[in-house]
């Protein structure tokens, strides 16, 4: 089971070797901001539209070239080659978020930010939605409100440390990063 809750079937030896090879050869330098940072409060791990656009570009540059495939057994596209503009958050997490943050066991935001990023907007989303569509929605939101590329959105997938989700999630809803981030965003702008 992956950190996203997806059941991922073990690949055969050849597929596993290919996956390991792709991960070992992966270059994350276009995503990483210096040495990254540690942000102790999950609710302060917002992501900017600019950082999401860098992620989208990274995927566009690597996905087809490296022959990424859908590794989630329950997915209707299981074992099929992925197309960058059709990748959903489960697939992005599998191919980018988890491997890019593996060495530091950090959140994606901690990898790409220089420090805390207090959210102005809290974003509720569906993991099955295409990343390209998600980014387009935020671009349209940003344009309609005449926001800058550095406007900060809180999105759980990028804020939570996917390698240690049990530490990120707590029983009391009022103590969750979701609630705390939503409260910060409501004081600034709002919820999408």
Instruction: List, for residues 94-109, the tens digit of each pLDDT value.
Output: 999 999 999 999 999 9
Q: How far is 129 from 168, CA to CA, in rounded Å? A: 23
Mean pLDDT value across residues 159-163: 94
pTM, two decimals, is 0.85
pLDDT of residue 6: 39
Tens digits of per-residue pLDDT, 114-149? 999 999 999 999 999 999 999 999 999 999 999 988
Query: Cα–Cα distance between 110 and 33 in angstroms, integer?
Result: 9
pLDDT reading at 4 higher than 70: no
Determine the pLDDT at residue 168.
Answer: 74
Number of Cβ atoms within 10 Å of the Cβ of 54 = 16
Strand partners, 130: 88
């Amino acid at each position: 089971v992956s950190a996203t809750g997806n059941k991922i079937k073990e690949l055969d030896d050849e597929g596993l070797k290919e996956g390991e090879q792709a991960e070992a050869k992966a270059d994350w330098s276009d995503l990483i901001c210096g040495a990254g940072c540690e942000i102790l409060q999950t609710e302060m791990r917002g992501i900017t539209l600019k950082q999401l656009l860098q992620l989208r570009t990274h995927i566009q540059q690597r996905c087809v070239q490296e022959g990424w495939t859908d590794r989630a057994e329950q997915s209707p596209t299981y074992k099929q080659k992925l197309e960058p503009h059709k990748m959903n958050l489960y697939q992005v997490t599998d191919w980018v978020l988890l491997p890019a943050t593996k060495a530091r066991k950090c959140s994606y935001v901690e990898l790409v930010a220089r420090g805390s990023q207090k959210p102005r907007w809290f974003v509720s989303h569906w993991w099955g939605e295409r990343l390209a569509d998600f980014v387009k929605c935020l671009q349209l939101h940003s344009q309609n409100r005449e926001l800058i590329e550095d406007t900060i959105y809180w999105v759980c997938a990028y804020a939570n440390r996917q390698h240690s989700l049990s530490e990120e999630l707590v029983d009391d809803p009022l103590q969750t990063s979701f609630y705390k981030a939503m409260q910060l965003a409501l004081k600034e702008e709002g919820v999408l």
